Structure 1
Amino acid sequence: MTYYEDPGPGYGALPPRAALRSDASRLSLNGTWRFHLADSVATAPTGFERDDFDDSAWDLLAVPSSWPMHGFGRPAYTNQPYPFPVDPPYVPDENPTGDHRLEFELPGWWHGPAVLRFDGIDSCARIWLNGVELGVVRGSRVPSEFDVGEHLRPGRNLLAVRVHQWSSGSYLEDQDMWWLPGIFRDVTLIARPVGGLTDVFVHADYDHLTGAGALLVEADPGARVRIPELGIETEAGRQVMIPAVEPWSAELPRLYDAVVATDAESVELRIGFRTVAIEDGVLTVNGRRVLFHGVNRHEHDPVLGRVIPEHRLRQELLVMKRHNINAIRTSHYPPDSRLLALCDELGFWLMDECDYETHGFFLLDWRGNPADDPSFEAASLDRMRRLVERDKNHPSVIMWSLGNEAGTGRNLDAMAAWTKQRDPSRPVHYEGDLSCASVDVYSRMYASHAEVDAIGRRAEEPLDDPVLDARRRAMPFVLCEYSHAGGNGPGGLPEYEELFHRYPRCQGGFLWEWMEHGISRPGGGYAYGGEFGEELHDGTYVLDGLVFPDLTPQPVLAEVRKAFEPVHLTVDPDARKLRLANRYDSADTSNLALQWELADDGVIVARGVLDMPVVAAATEATVEWPKKALDLPGSDAERWLTVRAVLAADTAWAPAGHEIAFGQARVGVPPTAPRTAVDAAVRPAVDAAVRPAVARRHGGAVELGPGRFDADTGRLVGLHEWDVDHVPLELWRAPTQHDARTWDATTLDRKTRWADAGLHRLRYRTVSLEKTVSLEQSADELTVVTKVGPAAVDAAVLTTYRWTSTDGRLTAAVEIEPVGRWTVPWARVGVTLGLPAGFQDVTWFGLGPGPAYPDSRAAGRVGTYTATVDDLQIPYLYPQENGARGDVRRAELSGPAGRLELAGDPVFSLTVRRWTISELAAAAHPEDLVPSDRVWLTLDALQHGLGSPTSGAPILPAHDLQPQAHRFTFTLG
């Protein structure tokens, strides 16, 4: 057995310890190294670790780096399957091996003991310094330190590192991500002065009943602890009671600067006082129930791979905070340690997860799973130790996680037992064992709304063992993964949130996932799985984030922000009051201000501020409406009052005025009879006699007002001066990523079902085309009946258009009726019109500013918005249905082609694109979409919801568009 196939944890490294900011001398060894990549261990050069080895012909490579991102080898993406034969602990002879060499100068002032620290190497490395072997490391995303004091020499030193892409450790690192080998985190030489600090472990508890703090710092004998702000100076190892401290929380991340020192070394710490407990089946911090509005976060940079610049770490967290995200699960490994320091500072609840996943064994019914293999026990424990020891001093870490999707087994039980013994102050999490025998919280991934409801009531399916069942039923519940993102979706977020607030046991969860893992391509755009020649890959499944790879928010992030609002504003038009519910875990509302605005048909007519009451966490208050809004005269326009809760002052993560929450309601009673949206668009402002048009035959067309219709098919072929392409009925959409996948192997995904049913290849047969009397005589209504259906089946839709025209506008009252036997839901019920390309801008009155779909629309607010046709498109890395604006009352297209007015009765969903639905569906990347000489306008009366079936959560019944009779009306003018 080779050293890289040994199932143990490696050898030579020092015991793990905390990541500390020390005043001991440090020398960064990051920079440009010599590099050579061999296809296998057998072809790697021998003796490369020697001083006299000639590496002048080698390539240059930055360290830290993931070498496939620099043109050496190729990235490869899999979700579950191992990209090599499953034969633990062995790996193939074809094992890419990267040799790294660095010559560095030791400063003249350097002397004494030192350690060499590697913060991350994927997946196995053998290390030499000046020709002396230091050891072997496995465990890619946890640090390793080696004692090198006696091996250093004045002046020139040579560090040689051989990295293998595959090793026994790869069997424990089958996370859903790109396989990217390399030395991808910092390499540092750190002085270890005699009499210095070996390690530091901070215990800082908070008593929420008294406000007192309890501090115990474990460190080397003789070390002293100083916290100047609290007037503390004491010996390490001695507990200190502090009568009053400000607690740390994700909402109020209060930190105290501390120094732990001996005569030879001092380290700086930022201490947060907080206590994590499980009380009556509820997880609490500082005595308060916490609700995780979280995301699963992988570490990924579209250019650098596993290497994450520090500025990007901060930017990620700022975007999260600005979208009301308060928690992170570090899926599925310890992140860069700098992230934890930022989480302490900015305020996040962290579930810190071990670098442990054996998901590929699921495909083998868990045969041979290393999690239950005694030969992997030492490596399993080693990974957990290195996680806990590194991160134990961070107040943001309130839960340890054993790993992800590794089945069950003795090694996971051993990891849990060790963790509880080492750090009983934090609960232990693991989702893969539904018995929860070794952990402290009940966790599920992708449970449906119905299942979450049952769990909230403690009425979930029982375990066979009544003792384990009773124990689990008494635990708090978290969704470690839910609402799988990816492209357009997911839907159903507000419904999950409502369950979290209804049941104290349900303490939120972590959306899957934070970021799309697209890899930048030299010519522009992003690559996904399968685009690097992988034999096995999971395609677009790696595109499953709430933000694009450059951290630009996707539309769903606005939906997340709305669902996660920490204050809930309800505008009550009947009581003329605002109800404010504070949903913060612990903070009051003194950091917020209230702003309001009143708009008629989307045009703001008044605005101002309201007095913000100081509302304690988990309580409510009522605020009077602004007098200015009450005194405004009535209007026959749609009048909407919008109230916004914004930051009252600058914070570390957003400026004053940043919106935290909003509420909106229609107010006022029109002085005249209510009008439909069609009336508002069609009837003149001054009541006058209407002028209905009549239909006349003219050559091969029927003319009705501004419309021209094909005399044989009844399709609209012209409007005003424009030629028109008319698709009378659409039942299909360019499949979303959620349409294209399902977790249940026994169920076909929606994309396949729609394709099998032929929704993308409808054919149209004109059944009848008639005026009120006949084509030879005039009439004020043109009726067109069309039978629409796909080839090879008897299912169809009878579609009836009744066209009328008044005041130069054309109105279609449309009725649809399914006939035959339909076995699939529909993607949409809509009408498409092809118009000249000269339409460039769209103004609409409806939901905005972003897209809105049946189950993803909470972030929309009624108003008037304007955007270009191009800006309405969402550049998903894998093109799909996108950009629909919902509840549109009326809209206008404008540009060099002229001006076209649209209206719905009462509303419609509006999509405007420069390509057809079929062209959108056929594209593999955004750059494949080439604007045509037409603008394609789709008016949807109904559309199927987005859901989250990618990972098993069924779509809510209300948003499942089953074939049905329906009527809708639209007007063109």
Structure 2
Amino acid sequence: MSSRTTTVTAYVEDVSPGSGALPPRAWYASSDAASLSLNGIWAFRLSRTADAEDDSFAEVGYDAGDWARVEVPGHWVLQGHGSPVYTNHLYPFPVDPPRVPTENPTGDHLRVFDLPADWPGPSGGGAVLRFDGVESCARVWLNGTDLGEFKGSRLPHEFAVGHLLRARGNVLAVRVHQWSAGSYLEDQDQWWLPGVFRDVTLLHRPAGCALDFFVHASYDHVSGEGTLRVDSDVDGRVTVPDLGVDTATGEPVTVPVEPWSAELPRLYDGVLATQGERIPLRIGFRTVELADGLIRVNGRAVLFKGVNRHEWHPEKGRALDLATMREDVLLMKRHNVNAVRTSHYPPHPAFLDLCDELGLWVIDECDLETHGFAEQGWRDNPVDDDRWTPALLDRAARMVERDKNHPSVVLWSLGNEAGTGRGLTAMAEWIHGRDPSRLVHYEGDHTCRDTDVYSRMYTGHAEVERVGRGLDGGPHRRRELPYLLCEYAHAMGNGPGGLADYQRLFEAHDRLQGGFVWEWIDHGIAHPGLGYAYGGDFGEELHDGNFVCDGLLFPDRRPSPGLVEFKKVIEPVTIEGDASGGTVRVRNGYDFAGLSALAFTWSYRVDGETVDSGFLPVPPLEPGESAEVKLPAPPATAPAGEALWTVRALLAAGTAWAPEGHVVAWGQFGRSARPAPSVAAAGGPVPGEGLITLGPASFDARTGALRRVGAVDITGLRLDVWRATTDNDDGAASQPDARYGRLWRRLGLHRVQHRLDAVESGDDALTVRTRVAPAAGEIGLSTVYRWTSDGPRLGLTVSVTPEGDWTVPLPRLGIRFGLSSADRVRWYGGGPGEAYPDSATASEVGRWQSTVDELQTPYVRPQENGARAGVRWAEIGGLRVEGDPEFFLTARRWTTEQLDAAAHRTDLAPGDTVWVNLDHGLHGLGSQSCGPGPLPRYFLRAEPARFTFVLSEVSA
């Protein structure tokens, strides 16, 4: 027993990549050779330690009848065996490389299978057993023979097994350890989820088949010709019928072609035929180069409008099926995303097939991150330890060799947040030597010694602009490298704010070649009691809470308001009207595509009602071109009011990723402003028994509190300055002095008190004077409510004067009140979704309606949400409210305090009162949960303010 235990410990804690696996090679979905999927239900046994059970389960005839059952691909902790663990970068075990804990959950997997009746016999060649992904370390047996072991969770590993196969009763045994030496290289910001989570496949390898091949398909943008050469380890022929190509492997051929790009993803179907096999090829001709300090594809500089994508499903974790992967790509395309960084590991290979087919630029990232070593000043970091270099090179090779034939992959990334060191240099040198047709990316070394781009994370707007203007220094400047924000705009909770400000910088400076929002999807785990669970919900002693929920999609893949905003910010067509509203300027912002695939429509609205509409003739502009297009004359019969033009760019015909009529871009601009609402006082307050009457309203005679407008009961109307802090308000722990949520709580803004100073009945107004201030401080807000009426309507003017030394901005400034009965909401203003000062680009002015429940945005951790911006008027619960100036509208069935206290959506219980906020201003969002806070122009500063509302009962 002790000898066997030593053997187990040795391979688990060995820094080598493994033993017994075949060399890496190109991945392809199919050929005419036989294959057998071994996905499905496997027998499963879980042990607490790596040496708790012997290896007899791998023998033929072992009785596993009393074992549990798990689905492969899958993670055993999501199937009732153990629990998930979430950390951002801290290792959930002692940092003592390469050693791992004794308590090392180990899953033994067993599958018995028969070969299909038509499976070729031994004389027909060999076979390989392929694992596309296993976390984190596995040992494999077939029919009792030890094939070897491997590490590298998100990478393929194959074993030669043809000599071991039987017609019936083959026994495949796999032992998977949660922790291994490889875990030190896989400290990505995600759930730790052990298991066989990608496909397991048996592949027949006919005699004379190609073990590996490399498709080289370049494009010369000057001549319009592509050069194709397919290198193979065995001789064969390459045919591409649409191009008339029929040539030998290794021989280049040059022909006129349509190039591949993310906007126009032209693929040519071809075949690589060897003596034993026919392999389908999907060939995209394109050339990637670093020229004049810019990343150029097919001779043109590209602007990346990208996202970082972890693989995620709320029930299956990283075990994604093809339909889910396709849904991701379709959602990206429909929201104008043109690029994806595969953070922080190579994705399932089928995802790259979809990127080739539908069109996305890809930064393919190696399965490498050692972020936890930052806690000890990067001491003992494996990437600067020569003993680990073979494992690093193995990971680089398995990524490059697997994915080298995908035209969508334009950059290789060495990994993420792994510090610096000799191992990274070795990886870069190997990749540059193996595939000089692509560029190399890595963010962690700002000297850019080994990379072709200057990449940064979460850099603030001001520094990004300095880089764009060439005012930054450093070794990367001397090489004039292009600049990428490989992560920016942290999409955690309500946000990110400031996207439009970043995009303006990207488009203003050539060197700024765009960025990748962090990240694509919230990693919430479906939970029957919590809705979606996050870090700490499974009893983890060490965890990073809901930091794992920081995506543009909710866990169920519903787009968040952040994704809707991003779509608008990065739209590839700019539509802007002139001051008079007589013409519109249309600019083609695509890098490669013209506008011939788009149709343009216009509508003319007055006070949100469409008066007229039609199609707008726009010339088929080429990339970068713009044109002034004349709008039709406004209808002569149009009523008076606020007039707005809305012009949309739609798909003229259906595509592979969206139907005809899909909105690609839109612009809205005004012709006339709206008249500001006002109330001319027609009478003064009338005292009564305990009440004061003013027009349609009743007030408490002692406190001046509004009780009713017509038949609409109103409760608790008062100034409100607090919001349930967002993840971005609470900020990153590394920036404690700039975390506004913390500063607001320190000031006590979440528990302000309202002091009544006076209730004054004048000839034409009721005036209520108050002071709003937190306990334990001397700051406050002198607040005056002045009520007037013209008979049927009630006017409220709120005047706010700060007192004391206000050193931080306010969360919000407006009034809050409760309605006893409300459900439907109608409003004229920004919509249909939520918007905040620095995330309002996608807010379209119109007439909208919703239920109160539909106004809520279901962030995994409840927080401030649901505001509609630029509201002119709203109707809710029988009450109509008009504002001067425009206001933010929020309505919910719980108080702000209840929202602030909730940890999960299931903590929120609807009450009998609907609480309405009419806000004069809101503080911006930013993305300080990891990135920068709001820009100063989006601060809600504590300064004198005056705003007016007109209230009336909605007529039946």
Could you tell me the TM-score, scaled by structure 2's length?
0.97
Quick one: distance in 2 between partners of 1:575 and 1:57?
Answer: 76
**Relative to 1, partners in 2 of residues 1:153 and 1:471: Cα closer, same or farther, differing over 3 Å?**
farther
Q: How does 1:137-156 map to 2 (within 5 A)?
A: 137-156=150-169
Contact 1:634 1:668 in 2 (8 A): no
1:116·1:145 contact (CA, 8 Å) conserved in 2?
yes
Q: What CA deviation, in whole Å up to 9, does each residue of 1:283-322 have, x standing for no partner?
A: 1100111011100000011111110011111111111111
SS at 1:48's partner residue? helix
Instruction: Name the SS for the 1:951 alignment partner.
Output: coil
Q: 1:832 aligns with which of 796, 813, 816?
A: 816
Checking the alignment, whether the CA contact within 8 Å between 1:202 and 1:218 is kept in structure 2 is yes
What is aligned with 1:924? 903
1:675 Cα offset (Å): 2.4
* 3-state SS of paired residue (1:739): helix
TM-superposed CA distance for 1:220, in Å, is: 2.8
Q: 2:649 corresponds to which letter in structure 1?
A: A
Per mean C-alpha deviation after superposition, the further-off stretch among 54-63 and 591-600 is 54-63
The question of whether the paired residues in 1 share the 8 Å contact of 2:862 and 2:905 is answered with: yes
Structure 1 position 398 matched with structure 2 position 405: no
SS at match of 2:396: helix
Instruction: Please give the alpha-carbon distance, in whole angstroms, between the structure 2 residues aligned to 1:874 and 1:288.
Output: 40
Could you tell me which runs of 5 or more consecutive residues in structure 2 were left unpaired when the two chains were aligned. Answer: 1-8
Structure 1 Cα separation of the partners of residues 402 and 333 of structure 2: 25
Deviations 1:820-840 (A, max 9, x none): 12232210001101111x211
1:955 aligns with one of 928, 934, 943:
934
Superposed, which structure 2 residues align to 1:836-847 within 5 Å? 836=820, 838-847=821-830
Partner of 1:685: none
| Residues 205, 215 of structure 1: 8 Å contact kept | yes
**Residue number among 268, 287, 291 corresponding to 2:299 in the alignment:** 287
Cα distance in structure 2, aligned partners of 1:5 and 1:872: 52
Which of 607, 615, 620 in structure 1 is aligned with 2:613? 607
Q: Structure 1 CA distance, aligned partners of 2:604 and 2:477?
A: 53
Question: Which residue of 768, 772, 788 corresponds with 2:758?
Answer: 768
Look up the SS of the partner of 2:363 in the other structure.
strand
- 1:126-275 equivalences under 5 Å are 126-242=139-255, 244-275=256-287
In 2, are the aligned partners of 1:327 and 1:348 still within 8 Å (CA)? Answer: yes
Tell me the C-alpha RMSD between the 2 structures. Answer: 1.3
Structure 2 match to 1:852: 835
CA contact (8 A) 2:22 2:159 kept: yes
Q: In the alignment, residue 111 of structure 2 is paired with which amino acid?
A: L
Contact 1:530/1:537, CA 8 A, preserved across alignment = yes
Structure 2 counterpart of 1:686 = none
Name the CA distance, whole Å, in 1 between partners of 2:801 and 2:180: 61
- For 2:834 and 2:530, the matched residues in 1 are separated by 25
**Partner deviation per Cα, 1:650-683 (whole Å, 9 max, x = no partner):** 10000111000001111158xxxx721x14xx6x
- When structure 1 is superposed on structure 2, of 9-18 and 632-641 the one drifting more is 632-641
* Residue 471 of structure 1 pairs with residue 455 of structure 2: no
Runs in 1 of length 4+ with deviation above 4 angstroms?
A: none
* Partner in structure 2 of residue 872 of structure 1: 855
How far did 1:916 drift?
0.6
After TM superposition, the structure 1 = structure 2 runs for residues 775-790 of structure 1, keeping only pairs within 5 Å, are 779-790=763-774
Are positions 1:2 and 2:14 aligned together?
no
For 1:653, the equivalent position in structure 2 comes to: 657
User: Alpha-carbon deviations, 1:587-608, whole Å to 9, x = none?
Assistant: 0000000001111111101010
Does residue 704 of structure 2 align to residue 714 of structure 1?
yes
* Aligned mates of 1:825, 1:199 — CA distance in 2: 61
Q: Secondary structure at the match of 1:630?
A: coil
Match of 1:357 in 2: 369
SS at the partner of 1:455? helix
**Cα deviation 1:580-629 (Å, max 9, x = unaligned):** 11000110000000001111111101010011211000111111112xx4
Query: What secondary structure is seen at the aligned counterpart in 2 of 1:2?
Result: helix
Residue 704 of structure 1 corresponds to: 694
Q: Secondary structure at the match of 2:634?
A: helix
Task: Tell me, in whole angstroms, the C-alpha distance in 2 between the residues paired with 1:157 and 1:469.
Answer: 56
Per-residue deviation, 1:861: 1.2
1:54 equivalent in alignment to 2:58: no
CA distance in 2, matches of 1:832, 1:743: 31
Give per-residue Cα distances to partners, 1:626-655, cap 9 Å, x unaligned: 2xx434345321111100000001100001
How far does residue 710 in structure 1 lie from its aligned partner after superposition? 2.5
Q: Confirm or deny: 8 A CA contact 2:446 2:476 kept in the other structure.
A: no
AA aligned to 1:47 is S
- Paired with 2:476 and 2:128, the residues of 1 have a C-alpha distance of 48
2:709 and 2:246 mapped to 1: Cα distance? Answer: 83
Distance 1:367 1:725 in 2: 61
> Is the 1:708–1:718 Cα contact (8 Å) retained in structure 2?
yes
> Per the alignment, in what secondary structure is the counterpart of residue 436 of structure 1?
coil
CA drift of 1:752 comes to 1.4
Query: Quick one: which of 317, 320, 324 aligns to 1:308?
Result: 320
Q: Deviations over 1:876-898 (max 9, x none)?
A: 1111111111111111114xxxx
Partner of residue 29, structure 1: 38
Paired residue for 2:5?
Answer: none
Partner of 1:644: 648
Q: In the alignment, what sits opposite 2:796?
A: 812
2:893 equivalent to 1:910? no
Q: Which is further off, 870-879 or 436-445? A: 870-879
2:727 counterpart of 1:737? yes
User: How far apart in 2 are the matches of 1:306 and 1:327?
Assistant: 20
Q: Distance in 2 between matches of 1:698 and 1:526?
A: 53
Cα offset for 1:216? 0.8
Indicate conservation of the 8 Å contact 1:224/1:235, yes or no. Answer: yes
Q: How does 1:368-767 map to 2 (within 5 A)?
A: 368-460=380-472, 462-463=473-474, 468-472=475-479, 474-523=480-529, 525-574=531-580, 576-626=582-632, 629-633=633-637, 635-668=639-672, 675-676=675-676, 678-679=677-678, 692-742=682-732, 744-767=734-757
Which of 861, 865, 888 lines up with 2:871 in the alignment? 888
> SS of the residue aligned with 1:815?
strand
In the alignment, is the contact (CA less than 8 A) between 2:581 and 2:671 conserved in 1?
A: no
* Correspondence for 1:687: none
**Offset at residue 46 of structure 1 (A):** 3.8
Look up the match of 1:775. Answer: none
Secondary structure of the structure 1 residue equivalent to 2:383: helix
Sequence identity (%): 53
Q: Which amino acid aligns with 2:675?
A: R
Letter in 2 for 1:459: L
Which structure 1 residue ranges, 5 or more long, are not aligned? 683-689, 773-778
The aligned amino acid for 2:842 is A
Q: For residues 480-536 of structure 1, what are the alpha-carbon distances to aligned partners after superposition, in whole Å with 9 as ceiling and x for unaligned?
A: 000000111011111111111100000101000000000011347111111001111
1:16 and 2:6 correspond: no
1:42 alignment partner, SS class: coil
Deviates more, 1:477-486 or 1:574-583: 574-583
Distance 1:743 1:401, change over 3 A: farther
Matches of 2:683 and 2:127 in 1, distance apart?
A: 92
What CA distance in whole angstroms lies between the structure 1 residues aligned with 2:931 and 2:831?
29
How many aligned residue pairs are there?
939
User: AA paired with 1:322?
Assistant: R
Alignment match, 2:4? none
Alpha-carbon shift at residue 221 of structure 1 (Å): 3.3
Cα pair 1:44 1:97 within 8 Å, conserved: no
On the 8 A contact 1:714/1:766 being kept in 2, the answer is no
